[in-house]
Structures are given as structure tokens and as C-alpha cells.
A and B are shown apart, each in its own frame.
Chain A
């Protein structure tokens, strides 16, 4: 074990001087499976790490060693072999691939480590596991695969998935996601990458692993390593799939007959009668019966192609990849996403003491956003208006049906199809990520210095064009308008690290010291105009063609700087006892209190290495782990910590004058710090067939930066005023076995999350309100963050007698028969704002996922599933009736079952009851359980190898999201809104694909 440790850490060896009685041994190392020369194999003398060599590109080696010595052959990903020389001069060795996960090299911050030597909670996912999942962002494909990582996907093409590692520790939803480190560069998301660009994704979950990225590690770190050169001769890989997408799980809404009947109950048939008058009908039922969702949806397509070429020679390795992805969405109107990526990477080892590499990733994506408003309007608008109406003679360019024709004047109502088709919003993103490094070995295998520079240039261009159109006096634009924005980011990170690795008898030590400098810049320039010359086609979308008097321009940006010093020491005693410690000192220009200090400690005990475990055969490997550490978060807006100047303008006598506003709020910001404790257990059992990891985590965000409300003015200001705790258990279990020709595997993972506000301090209050006045949420000690805060109900007022019996309490809530019965939550006999109480929280208490895999001869079958439970969502689109008015459409379920004189036992109130005054504030009728179980992916593949002697191929069919089960009354229970409000949501989709992978 000890030698394994040493040699696997060694990547390069220099030849050492030979002893006098040496003999020269030579031979060839080949790969057992392919028979091809094995590359990168190091050969050293056991017990003398300085004597060694590396096999060349043809697998040949030659080494001068003592005749009675033992040679150790090792290479990354291969089992290490020991061969006694016994005086032989020719020794050929076949290297065997090392399938054992424990020897897997895991990328950790500023280095690598073997999985068995880790003391922290780290999960790693290989790109192979996600590449055939038909989603645009690699993170979207990770859903359900890693314990402790919650991912929310949307079917909207190019939409960024919401990612949360171990709960929600930061207040501001835009800062709750993890840090992504792509080849050393920091990112907020990796939507720009194609799965085929990626070698592996490593999730650093606990403090001892993530603290080395102290600056922004508070919400987890995801290390992304782009493709590396594969061993051996040049290899060409093609991956591709094509598929179709369809909306699934559509919520059923009332048809015109049901709607007319409901409005009759309510006693307002004005609009229904107008529909009949305009477009016909009989017996009080309009003929027109539009399914707005159907009218708005189409079948989408999804396509992906990628080609990678990679290889290794004796001194260099390279990768060249191109990939193309496109997804045409399920919404009508402009709604698609297209991305073209190029990746190129080269590593060169000219001398044994010098290694250098450079890589560049270029990603060019175009996204045409579908109109989410159209989906909300499709939900709100009743079916009694036609999509198109030839009688609407004023309408142009298309004769869309008008909501004014039935007197729906409220701004909540508009023709959704017109909304989607008149929407022309386009975003273009060009990202260039160059990076390079140089690594010097001062003392071979012991002391290394690495200099790395990573950069990001990101050019975003967005364009919104509204044509001249007329649907009604409330949905029209009699001039065209155009707005454009150019965003430019240029970020640089420079790292210097010095790593020392050594072994003294049973003591192994790796120490790393580093220093890092960051520079982040963002600028934007935005301009808009109206009344453009030309016919409105794309070629004439230029600000300069607009009316000069209607043009406006604005710009802005930020620059942040950071500097960090860090170090890490890892120690092991005889491979049994593991310890690691990190320290990071970070300075950030964002805060008034600039410096933060982030230490961490991790301990591990490999019980299976103990003598007393030698005689058992239950566990091949068993390790206990524990860690403690502090993590920082500087992902906060910098401009909020001081009183600043803002500008506005005022027209005096038709002359525009520039104005200056003096902000009268002030706060003092310092680092948000997360204290994280992790305790875990890793094991391999039953002959390697069963593997498992069990972790307990407890994260406490101190000094959480929270938006406080200033009394009286109700303005908000950021302050370090909260403590938020996230804790839970993560379990990952795998069973891999083969029975005859049938290989099968079962992997499951499960995570619990307990999110709780531990302390909160407003200006003179012990809670902080979030959300809006109508959809109130609260941060209060003892409850989850952003808990829904409103009235509890207990059924429906069934009769006048019941109302009279309740006396004043019923009067205070404006009780009427058929209305929701509000509960006296504080028990004071009065119904008032003091009765608002905890109604649930938008974070899942339990998430689980897993996959089943089968291989039989050339066939493979995979099935993945995912589920969440214990999560609440505010069905805001339903609650919107209170503002939109009774005319809003109803669900089919409501039409079938709601309070009437003959159905007094319904759980739903009467139509009028939905409009009760107290419904203007959130109540539990609109808070719904959003638990769901999803069959994520079923995939059946057929593998062919050695076609024409050179080509391996796999052909597969897959269904993504074929089945989802939930009770929530929405178009998906995956509400990407960070506070769990479902106002307007892109429907869920299922995707069927046919794919192929070819390797040459």
C-alpha cells in the first residue's frame, strides 16, 4: 500500500545513476485488452523511487537495475504491478485497467488526490455518464446523480438550471449557486459548455475540500476539467443524437361550457354573452373553445453532434473537439437555442523537469427566449376567444382574436399566441476561455512549482424588437421599437502554487502553498429606439435607423479585485490515518471589511488497514472521515455598502435636465462565512460489489448578507444580519455485479435537508420579511428561509348558521357561504394580521435519485429516476384571480368540484369565494405540495466493437422525462423561481432521442 501511494503520486521520474552491479532490463509494456503499447507507464525499483524510467510511445523501456531487485510498473488508470527481476534482462508486462474506484484520481482544488486518501465529501462524475442526456447545460444532466446537489431544470431552450449544493445558505437567490471552476477560471454557471467538452465534474461539498477556494466556496464548488488527451494513439470520437420534444403533464383547464357554467354561478355573464354574440353559441355556451396551451405549443427538436480527436505521444498530449447543439423549443414564436463550441488543449513535457500546457475553449451560443408571459396568459385567458378572428378587421399583421371583443380590459388578459409570435428577443453569447500553465519540478517528484493564468472573455449581445402590430386597443404597438445590449466580461485569475510531496518511512506528506490574484470586470452598453426605418426585417434592426428623439442609451459595469494566499498540508501515516488542513486568506474589493480568513481541517481513519480488520472479509475498504472548516462568500453586490449617487432627469419646459439623487441608505458589509462540519463513512464491501458513502453535514452561514427593510421608507439595504443553517444526511450506495453474461448495477442516492434560520436581526425586529405584500415570505428564527407566511384555512364556510355561530370572528374575515374559512392561528379570538403563520417552504426536505443499469452481451439498458418531497410551492398564477378578476379561467378540477349549494363538502371554495378580500394575501389554499417523482431517462443501447477492425460504436434510443408524477396544479412542479413562486412557467417536456457514439 505504501509503495502504491508513492508511485501513484509520481507522474514523472528522472533516470538516476546506476550501481556498479546493475544489469540492464528492457522490454515492452502493452495494454492487456487492446494489445496496444501502454503509454505513460513508469518503471521504478521497489524501495528506491529515484531509480526509474518511463516507457516510450511504442511501450518500450530500458532500465539499469540491481539483478535481484523488484520492478514496479504503474500508470494512471492501470493496476500497479510488481515484477521480480531475478537476473532477467527482458521483461514484457501487460498492464491491466484498474477498475477499482478507490484508486480513481480525483481533481481537487489546485491538485489531484486519490479518492481513498480524501478526508472530505467529494463526488465526481465522468462525462460519459451525462453525454447522452439530451439537455443543453451539462449541469442539467447531473440532476439526481449526486447526493446533496439539487438541480431544477426548465424545458425552455438554453435555460440555465438552478443548482444548489447542500441547501440554501445565502439570502440573495442570484448568489445561492455553487462556484464553478473550469480549468482554473471562476464561473457562475457552465451553460456555455457542451457535455462533450468535459472530462469530469467534481463536486466539493464539505469544508475540507472546498475551503481551498475560500473566496467563493460557501455554496459548494464544482470543479470542471475539460477533456484531456487520451492515452495511446490518436483517437477520434463522435457523439450525436437527434430527438423530438413534446410538452408533457399539461394541466387541464375548463372548456367554454364549464367556464360559462361557473360564470353563471358567479353571476357575471357579460363576457360569455359577448363571445356568443361575436362568434356564436347556444344555450348560453360559446361555440368558441380554444385550448390556449395547445394553440401555443408545437413539437420541439433537439440535436447534438460532437467530434473529439485526442492522443498522446511520449512528450505531448492533445485534444481537439468541436460540438454543435441546438434545441428548438416547444413554444410557438422565436424560441430556440443553438451553440457551437471548439475546444483545444495541449500539454507538453519537453524535459523531465518542465511541463507546460495551453488550452482554449470557444463557445458561441444564440438563444431566442420564448415568452413566459404568453404561458401565464394562456393559463389566465378563458377559452371563449378564438386564436384568430377574421372579424377583427383592425388587427394586423395577423387577424388575432381580441380580448377587448369580450370586454376583458384588464392588463392580465391578452392573446397568448399573439404575445408569443410578436415576441422577438435574441441573445448571443461568445465566450473565449484561454488558459495556460507551466510546471517546474525542482526536486523530481517532490517539489513542484506551477504558474497558471486563466482568462475569460465574454461578449453578450441581446436584441429585442417589437414590430408594429394591433390585436386590440390593449395589445398593440403602433410604432416599432428596438433595444440592444452589449455585455462584456473580462476576467483573469493568476495562480502560483508550490507543492511538496514526500514520504518518510510510514509518514506521507503533501504540502502546497499558493497565491492567487483575481480581476473581474463587467461592462454593458444598452440602447433603445422607436420608429425604425425599413420594413422591420432583421437587416434593419439598427439603433441608428430609429427616431433620434426616441433613442436612449445607458451603460454600467463593475470591477472587482481579489487577492488570496492559501496553503494545504495532507498527511498520512501508513495509509491508515489521514489528516489535511487548509488555510486561505482572501481580500476582496467588494467589502468595507476586506479581509477574510478561512481555515479547515479534515481527518480520516482507514479502518480496513488496521491489523484487527485483516481477518474479516466483509469490508475490503472502510474509512471514517470528518472535517471542519470556514468558507467565505464574496458573491455579493459591491455597490450596496455605501451611500451612492444615482442620476435621473426631469423635463422643465420640455427641456430635459439631468438630476442627481443622493442615496440615504448606508450599510457596512463584510464577508459572509459558512462554518461547515462533515462526518462521513466510505466503504467497499462484498468483493467490491457494494460501495457506499454516508455523510452527515451541518453548514451554518454566519454574517449572512440579507436584504433588510428600512422602517418607514420600506427601502431595502444589505446587511450581515442573518445566520442560516443547512444540515442533513447524504447517502450514496452502489451495487455492481455480473451474473453470467448479464451485468447489472444499481446506484441510489438520497439527501435530507433541514434548512433553518438560526438568527436574524432587522433594524428593530427579530424577523425579516421577504417576498411581496401579496405573496409574503419571511425569515424567522426556527423556520426555513423564505417560508411562506400567510393565513391558514380550514375548509369552507358551509352555511349562514355556521357563520353566525362564529360571530365577530367570521365578520372580521368577511365570511360568506362558500368562502374559505380562515383559522384563528394565534387563538386570540380575532381575525387579523397576527393570524398569519408559517405555511411551508420552497426547499425539498428529501431528494433522491438513482439508476439501474444492465448489460447483456452487446446490449445495455439504463434507467434513471429522481424525486423530491417535502417541498411547497406558491401557486401564484392561481392566486392571481384576486387581481385579474373572476373572468380568469379555471382548472378542470375546479369546474368539476367546488362549493355550491349542492356540493357543500368540496375542498374548493365557490367562484365568489376565490375573490374574498382576505385572499389578497397569501393563504394555504394557494400553497401546494410540489413533491414529484420522475422517471428521468430510459436508454437502450447496442454496442459494436472492432467494426472494420478499427471502429467501436454504440447506437441507442432514449426517452428523457418520459413519466413524471405529481399532484401540484401546474405545468411542472420544478419551479425555477428561487423563492418558489409559480407566476409563469415554461411547461415540462419529454424528449425522445436516437443517438450514436463512434470511436475510431
Chain B
């Protein structure tokens, strides 16, 4: 009897210990994906990796060609190109017919991509706070937080330029059920966010930063100025263009306009914010066909052999300059900006690469994403180049514009830009003259021309079919389908 009881106890013990050890045996971490809480917040080197991770994501978004199509198509500086029915929706958008915009793949893709970026930046900022708590250098962590805050702000600028009334959140925990804000409130909230951290940034030009090209105080000023210009808050614009203009001076503009857009221009002071996609390093970060889609779609003969061959990848032939900008440049006697901005079929480029006249749909293409044969590393059109996001020339013209709007004289900064382009100085430049200067200086660059027209109220006059109701694309259908709160009115 006693024996049986003992046996029973022994079996039960065996069974339970087996179960316990089995539970332990199957409690193993997932291979190749460390959990977020595995971060050692006392390891400052890993904080820099988190920072680089944010830049990597940012670069991928900013160099994504399909986002560029929807950013850039609506202005009067270029038309869609390629065969008329290839991505015909873009032509509809250019004519302010948004009936297909709700489902357009690149619009929903851009929304998802930009907000996924916001999610990463939010997470990175929270991580830096934890590093600081764990004893990492407080100033460095504040600098990191501020850098990522600026990347996030620039991302929100892109988002609100496209869709206007959008949700803004700085912590991922705020995301569920979030409401959209009006365009004005988006801009104000994002400016306040950057202003709260601007003094934590390095007080040097990006080219002189610890990691060259990273966000510094000047980048933050430039991003705020761009944001404030969206709502014509010229006081804020001036407050933030002034320190840049004062410290950069005239000399920060590259002397030869042609090379601003080649990889000779990478990390020059001309570029206040750029996505570094250069492929001189072993691996290129997300170039993603930014060049290919704007390539001429005709046989190209390289002046200088690339990897032993004179063939260049010719691209898909999108984004072709309009007669309006071509004629304007000709009438103004533009040389450098004309040669650089426009690539013609059947002619040599300013560098000497030859473009055959075989494309039946267009005879000209955007030259600002072209990297000449002697400078590129592969035959892919435009490969090996950084993507310019904010140029100093843009800030100079914005400064002039704000001054004029405030009843001051904006000649100095606008004339620096004109001088570099080989044009005579203006006296008492008017708002219209400055807008025209912006047109020829910044055409074909991420739709800057279109956003200039809409933010200054000139769009209805310049763009056939435009009304204020057409300033923003409709919220993508996928976004509306995935959340009820996105369909509610903005606050």
C-alpha cells in the first residue's frame, strides 16, 4: 500500500518536472531578431546605430522614385513624359483631376512609407531618452533626439504638402484613434516641436558635423523656414533664414551651377539637407531608381566609358520640362540653369554624353537627376548621387521673399543666386520677380515650384484647372479603409 503511494508521488513528480523542464525547453528567443528590450542602454555606441538607422530610413523615403512622381507632377515646370498612357493617372493629377488619386499606388505607398518613418523616428527618440537615463552623455543624446526630430519634421512637411490635413504624433502610443489636424495646425505643431530642440544641435554646417551631412542647427533653421513659408508666417521664416544667411554668406553657393546636381556637389555647403545615396561606398542606400525614372528613354552614348562600356541605362522617360519653363529660361537668357536643367534629345549634354533622338514621346528631360559619365560609378542613370532636399539657394530666395513680404529689401540674397547663374543684379526686387527666380532656380526639384505657387496663392492664376480645393490630394483609400478616425474632419 505504502509502496503504491510512493510510486504515485514519484510519477507525479516526474510528470510535473518534465512539464516544467519542457516549458523551459521551448522558451527560446527568436533567431536573428533581437527584441527591442535587448538594447543595452548603457552602450552609447549602439545609440549612434539607432541614429544611423533613422537616417537610413529617411534616405530610403527621400530617394524613393514613386514618391517623387506624386510630389513633382502638379507644377507647371514639367509634364509626365513617357507614352501618354503609361501611368496616365499622373497626367490627371497634373490637370487636377483627382478621381483616381484615392487608389493610386504611389500615393498610398508614400503615405505608408512616410508614416512608417515617423514610427521609427518616434521609437528612436524614446530610445535616446532611455540611453540618457542609463547614463549616456546627456548632451549627445539631446543632439541625437534633435537630429531625428528634424528628420521627422521634414517628413511631416512632405506629408502635409501632399495631403494637407493629416495626423501628427510624436509618440507611437498616441497613434490609435488619433484625429487629423488642419494644415495650419500641422505646421504649427511641427515647428514648435523643432523649436523645442533646436538649441541641442551642433552649431556647425552639416558638412562640418561629426558625421558629415548630418542634421545641425542650420538644418533645423532651414526646415522651420520651409514649414513656416507653407503658412506664409514670414516672421518665423526670417527668424530662421537670418542665422543661415549670416553665417553662410555668399561663398557657400557652389560656383558652377552644373555641378550642384552631380556627385561633385555631394556634401557641399550648398546642400543644407541631403539624402546620401552615393554609391562610392560598397553599398548604395536606397537610390531606388530616382534617376532611372527620369532618364531619357533613348539610347545614350557615354563620353567616358563606364566599366569599359559606353552604354548607359537610359531610363523610363518620365518628367519632361514644359514649354513654359523652356521659353522662360530662353527669354531670360539663362545659360547655366538652362543647360543643367534640361537634357535634349539628339544633343550632347553639357558634359558631352550623347542622347539619341529616338524617343517618340518627348525631346527633353529633367537634367537635375543626371550624373555625367565621368562622375558616375555605374551605368544606371543618375546613380552615385545624393538627393538634394534643401538647397542654400532655396533658403536665400525664401529669405528675400520674406523680407519683401515684410516690406524690407530682399535684393542681397536674391542677387547672390542670380550672380551665380550669370545674371545681372536686380534692384528693389518684387515678390513676383523673386517667385520667377525661384521658378528657374528650383524647377524640377521635388515639386518646389508647385508648392511655391500654392502657398503664395498664385496657383489658380498659373495652373489651369487648379482651385484651392485641389491643393491637396485626397487621403488614400487604403488609409480610410484601415481606420475610421481618418475619415473624420480635421481639428
Q: Does B4 contact A (CB under 8 A)?
A: no
Q: Which residue of B lies closest to A562 (CB)?
A: B26
Listed by A's residue number, 28 A-B pairs whose Cβ atoms lie within 8 Å are A271-B83, A407-B83, A407-B297, A407-B358, A409-B86, A409-B297, A409-B359, A478-B309, A561-B26, A642-B35, A644-B34, A647-B49, A650-B59, A650-B276, A653-B213, A653-B267, A654-B281, A659-B51, A661-B56, A664-B120, A664-B123, A712-B486, A713-B112, A715-B112, A765-B482, A765-B484, A772-B105, A921-B477
Q: Does A660 contact B (CB under 8 A)?
A: yes
Checking B85, B115, B311 against A712 with a beta-carbon cut-off of 8 angstroms, the contacting residue is B115
Q: Does B12 contact A (CB under 8 A)?
A: no
Binds A, one of B174-182, B249-257, B390-398: B174-182
Given A406-B360, A764-B483, 14 more A-B residue pairs with CB atoms under 8 Å apart are A410-B87, A473-B299, A479-B307, A659-B55, A712-B175, A712-B486, A714-B479, A765-B483, A769-B481, A774-B105, A833-B477, A885-B84, A885-B87, A917-B97
Tell me, rounded to whole Å, the shortest Cβ–Cβ distance linking A772 to chain B: 7
With contacts A409-B361, A884-B86 known, is A552 near B282, CB below 8 A? Answer: yes
Cα of A476 to Cα of B315 in the assembled complex, Å: 11
Closest 5 interchain pairs by CB?
A473-B314, A885-B85, A659-B53, A711-B483, A407-B360
- Contact A654 B280, beta carbon cutoff 8 Å: yes
Residues of B contacting A649 in the complex (Cβ-Cβ under 8 angstroms): 52, 56, 283, 285
- Contact B53 A648, beta carbon cutoff 8 Å: yes
Query: Residues 537-564 of chain A: 1 if any B CB is under 8 Å from the residue's CB, otherwise 0?
Result: 0000000000001111001111101110
Q: Does B124 contact A (CB under 8 A)?
A: yes
Q: Which residue of A lies closest to B301 (CB)?
A: A394
Q: Does A405 contact B (CB under 8 A)?
A: yes
Q: Does A404 contact B (CB under 8 A)?
A: yes
Residues of B contacting A405 in the complex (Cβ-Cβ under 8 angstroms): 358
- Contact B297 A404, beta carbon cutoff 8 Å: yes
Within 8 A of A (CB), among B202-257: 211-214
Q: Does A814 contact B (CB under 8 A)?
A: yes
Tell me, rounded to whole Å, the shortest Cβ–Cβ distance linking B394 to chain A: 22
- Contact A769 B478, beta carbon cutoff 8 Å: yes
Residues of B contacting A710 in the complex (Cβ-Cβ under 8 angstroms): 175, 482
- Contact A587 B30, beta carbon cutoff 8 Å: no
- Contact B84 A648, beta carbon cutoff 8 Å: no
- Contact B116 A645, beta carbon cutoff 8 Å: no
Q: Which residue of A lies closest to B378 (CB)?
A: A479
Residues of A contacting B46 in the complex (Cβ-Cβ under 8 angstroms): 660
- Contact B176 A711, beta carbon cutoff 8 Å: yes
With contacts A649-B283, A660-B53 known, is A587 near B88, CB below 8 A? Answer: no
Q: Does B298 contact A (CB under 8 A)?
A: yes
- Contact A639 B33, beta carbon cutoff 8 Å: yes
Within 8 A of B (CB), among A909-927: 915, 917-918, 920-921
- Contact B118 A713, beta carbon cutoff 8 Å: yes
Cα of A218 to Cα of B57 in the assembled complex, Å: 39
Query: Residues 567-590 of chain A: 1 if any B CB is under 8 Å from the residue's CB, otherwise 0?
Result: 000000000000000000001110
Tell me, rounded to whole Å, the shortest Cβ–Cβ distance linking B168 to chain A: 10
Residues of A contacting B88 in the complex (Cβ-Cβ under 8 angstroms): 882, 885, 915
Q: Which residue of A lies closest to B85 (CB)?
A: A885
Question: Residues of B with Cβ closer than 8 Å to A?
Answer: 22-23, 25-28, 30-39, 46, 48-57, 59-60, 82-89, 92, 97, 99-100, 102-105, 108, 111-112, 115-116, 118-120, 122-124, 127, 167, 172, 175-178, 211-214, 266-267, 276-285, 295, 297-300, 306-307, 309, 311-317, 358-361, 378-379, 476-486
Cα of A556 to Cα of B33 in the assembled complex, Å: 9
- Contact B315 A660, beta carbon cutoff 8 Å: no
Tell me, rounded to whole Å, the shortest Cβ–Cβ distance linking B307 to chain A: 5
Cα of A713 to Cα of B172 in the assembled complex, Å: 10
Residues of B contacting A712 in the complex (Cβ-Cβ under 8 angstroms): 115, 167, 175, 178, 479, 483, 486
Cα of A645 to Cα of B120 in the assembled complex, Å: 11
Q: Does A323 contact B (CB under 8 A)?
A: no
- Contact B35 A644, beta carbon cutoff 8 Å: yes
Tell me, rounded to whole Å, the shortest Cβ–Cβ distance linking B278 to chain A: 6
Residues of A contacting B299 in the complex (Cβ-Cβ under 8 angstroms): 394, 404, 472-473
Tell me, rounded to whole Å, the shortest Cβ–Cβ distance linking A369 to chain B: 25
Q: Which residue of B lies closest to A644 (CB)?
A: B33
Q: Does A773 contact B (CB under 8 A)?
A: yes
Residues of A contacting B359 in the complex (Cβ-Cβ under 8 angstroms): 404, 407, 409
With contacts A664-B122, A711-B483 known, is A918 near B32, CB below 8 A? Answer: no
- Contact A643 B477, beta carbon cutoff 8 Å: no
Checking A473, A587, A769 against B298 with a beta-carbon cut-off of 8 angstroms, the contacting residue is A473
Query: Residues 760-790 of chain A: 1 if any B CB is under 8 Å from the residue's CB, otherwise 0?
Result: 0011110001001110000000000000000
Q: Does A656 contact B (CB under 8 A)?
A: yes
Tier of interface size on chain A: 35 or more
Within 8 A of B (CB), among A638-670: 638-639, 642-664
Cα of A709 to Cα of B177 in the assembled complex, Å: 14
Q: Does A116 contact B (CB under 8 A)?
A: no
Checking A404, A558, A563, A921 against B22 with a beta-carbon cut-off of 8 angstroms, the contacting residue is A563
Q: Does A507 contact B (CB under 8 A)?
A: no
Question: Residues of A with Cβ closer than 8 Å to B?
Answer: 268, 270-271, 274, 394, 404-412, 470, 472-474, 476, 478-479, 531, 549-552, 555-559, 561-563, 587-589, 594-595, 638-639, 642-664, 709-715, 762-765, 769, 772-774, 812-814, 833, 882-887, 915, 917-918, 920-921
Tell me, rounded to whole Å, the shortest Cβ–Cβ distance linking A816 to chain B: 12
Tell me, rounded to whole Å, the shortest Cβ–Cβ distance linking B374 to chain A: 16
Residues of A contacting B379 in the complex (Cβ-Cβ under 8 angstroms): 476, 478-479
- Contact B50 A662, beta carbon cutoff 8 Å: yes
- Contact B36 A643, beta carbon cutoff 8 Å: yes
Residues of B contacting A479 in the complex (Cβ-Cβ under 8 angstroms): 307, 378-379
- Contact B26 A474, beta carbon cutoff 8 Å: no
- Contact A270 B360, beta carbon cutoff 8 Å: yes
- Contact B53 A647, beta carbon cutoff 8 Å: yes
With contacts A407-B361, A648-B53 known, is A656 near B281, CB below 8 A? Answer: yes
- Contact B86 A885, beta carbon cutoff 8 Å: yes
Cα of A644 to Cα of B123 in the assembled complex, Å: 12
Tell me, rounded to whole Å, the shortest Cβ–Cβ distance linking A813 to chain B: 8
Q: Which residue of A lies closest to B267 (CB)?
A: A653
Q: Which residue of B lies closest to A881 (CB)?
A: B85
- Contact B99 A917, beta carbon cutoff 8 Å: yes
Residues of B contacting A404 in the complex (Cβ-Cβ under 8 angstroms): 297-299, 314, 358-359
Residues of B contacting A773 in the complex (Cβ-Cβ under 8 angstroms): 103-105, 108, 476-478
With contacts A407-B360, A713-B112, A714-B108 known, is A661 near B282, CB below 8 A? Answer: no
Residues of B contacting A470 in the complex (Cβ-Cβ under 8 angstroms): 311
Residues of A contacting B480 in the complex (Cβ-Cβ under 8 angstroms): 833
Tell me, rounded to whole Å, the shortest Cβ–Cβ distance linking A814 to chain B: 6
Cα of A659 to Cα of B284 in the assembled complex, Å: 14
Residues of B contacting A714 in the complex (Cβ-Cβ under 8 angstroms): 108, 111-112, 115-116, 478-479, 482
Residues of A contacting B311 in the complex (Cβ-Cβ under 8 angstroms): 394, 470, 473, 476, 478
Tell me, rounded to whole Å, the shortest Cβ–Cβ distance linking B149 to chain A: 16
Checking B86, B87, B116, B211 against A657 with a beta-carbon cut-off of 8 angstroms, the contacting residue is B211
Residues of A contacting B23 in the complex (Cβ-Cβ under 8 angstroms): 587, 594-595
- Contact A659 B52, beta carbon cutoff 8 Å: yes
Cα of A274 to Cα of B357 in the assembled complex, Å: 13
Tell me, rounded to whole Å, the shortest Cβ–Cβ distance linking B119 to chain A: 4
Tell me, rounded to whole Å, the shortest Cβ–Cβ distance linking A843 to chain B: 23
- Contact B175 A639, beta carbon cutoff 8 Å: no
With contacts A651-B276, A653-B211, A714-B111 known, is A594 near B49, CB below 8 A? Answer: no
Checking B28, B49, B120, B298 against A561 with a beta-carbon cut-off of 8 angstroms, the contacting residue is B28
With contacts A651-B285, A713-B115, A773-B477 known, is A645 near B33, CB below 8 A? Answer: yes
- Contact B25 A563, beta carbon cutoff 8 Å: yes
Tell me, rounded to whole Å, the shortest Cβ–Cβ distance linking B449 to chain A: 24
Q: Which residue of A lies closest to B207 (CB)?
A: A653
Q: Which residue of A lies closest to B381 (CB)?
A: A473
Residues of B contacting A588 in the complex (Cβ-Cβ under 8 angstroms): 26
Cα of A772 to Cα of B478 in the assembled complex, Å: 9
Tell me, rounded to whole Å, the shortest Cβ–Cβ distance linking A914 to chain B: 9
